Chain A
């Protein structure tokens, strides 16, 4: 059995008193893996540790069996798209990507840079400085410099930021091609729908901890099956609350004010199907039905809490 490309073993990272990553363990193999989590969850810290940009406070990080913090030669095998927008603004796209190729010791740096820019659909002969580029164009140039030396491990921190829908689609296809060709591609995002397109393997990071990992569909099911809280406005709150409880679609109800019912349910889909017929049977009018915890943050909180 071959060793995983990336091994995170009981990794914790402190920044002063702040615990950015707490006792995280996982392995990543070749192919595309998505790192999902809200902003500030610790995804970027995980990615920085993967590249050796910052060492773990405790635990071990191994990439291709080597320590990315100490082994400078390992950087030949790593391509990183950092989250930060900064690039060498006085350079053209070709100069910027060629610089990466030169420093990686690529045989024909200019040809490699032209090839990488072509892959991200950027014109290599554009004479404008990168400083004048839009965020999306900069992002594509950053991706080009990360793949110009054909690394075995490609780390992309929120790579689709600033790209239009067509470019996003193109990039996702490219990441899959790279993954299919044997590279280990790790992509982070805080957007659930985006992650769905990246691939089946997902690591969910929240509050610095590994909240869930596995196939995307399993993670999605976990998220959908969690207890949901909804607010329902009606002219007959008591009657409707009683009917919902009797029907078994609500786990708990609470009357709030003259016209509000707070409802807890574990099966959101069944509840949404049942609520209108039950209201009709009860003779109640429905004014509003709103989810109170549909944001991704609360989903992540739930996932962290259940581990």
Chain B
């Protein structure tokens, strides 16, 4: 546990650099602004309008981009600047390193995405159910993306480029081909949580509530397992 906490703190402080946090909070401010604009526009169905905003801006753009930037840096930056050796060459199980890295990245990502999106959902006037749905959907998606992108950052040098390619091609294109393909997309689980919680209609959002929470958590755990495997296999500078 001591090793876990020590690595958690190191990863967290190396991930949450000022420029990154400020840049991504600015994206969060955009969500809040959009929520405010929808609220003052007084739409006929504020819950649906709010849900559309959280889906299109929050789940499709904001959550994955924030997760990509922070999570890919968690071990990726250390591999890049050769400081990974100071964690790797220690009698610490690789799964502890992987779990601590994912937990540290998630501890930065979740508040950065959830707070602005919850405020935005509130400002749309969609009501408490939309806010709760937003918090749960954003948190669950953030966890899943964190697991995926921590592994990606450790494995690939230009993780940001590859991550954006994944988001655009897989999540944005392939997974929209039908409900079967959508099951292989993190966003569809977030959309399903949002539709169930706020009782709205969104495309490709038909995953059962329990599965919509459990599957992304399993994806995050798969990310931890993959990161552990990469830590066993990779060369360390």
Contacts and interface: CB of A to CB of B under 8 A. Distances in A.
Interface of A: 48, 51-54, 72-73, 75-76, 78, 80, 82, 84, 86-88, 90-91, 96, 99-100, 102-105, 145
Nearest to B88: A53
A99 B6 contact: yes
A75 B10 contact: no
B179 interface: no
Nearest to B94: A72
B91 A80 contact: no
Contacts of B214: none
Given A53-B235, A102-B3, 11 more contacts: A53-B85, A80-B89, A84-B81, A87-B83, A91-B13, A99-B6, A100-B86, A103-B3, A103-B7, A105-B3, A145-B86
Nearest to A76: B91
Contacts of B13: 88, 90-91
Contact of B2 (A82, A100, A102): A102
A52 B89 CA distance: 8
A103 B1 CA distance: 10
Contacts of B81: 84, 86
B82 to A, nearest CB: 4
Contacts of B7: 103
A145 B89 CA distance: 11
Interface residues of B, number: 23
Interface of B: 2-3, 6-7, 10, 13-14, 81-83, 85-94, 235-237
Most B CB within 10 A of own CB, among A53, A103, A105, A145: A103
A75 B90 contact: yes
A96 B236 CA distance: 19
Contacts of B14: 88, 90
A145 B83 CA distance: 13
A80 B236 contact: no
Given A88-B14, A88-B86, A99-B10, A53 B94 contact: no
Given A88-B10, A90-B14, A104 B91 contact: yes
Contacts of A53: 85, 88-89, 235-237
Contacts of B235: 48, 53-54
A86 B79 CA distance: 10
A99 B3 CA distance: 9
A82 B85 contact: yes
Contact of B236 (A54, A88, A105): A54
A51 B89 contact: yes
| Residue from the set B91, B235, B237 with the largest chain A CB neighbour count within 10 Å | B91
B90 to A, nearest CB: 4
A103 B82 contact: no
Nearest to B5: A102
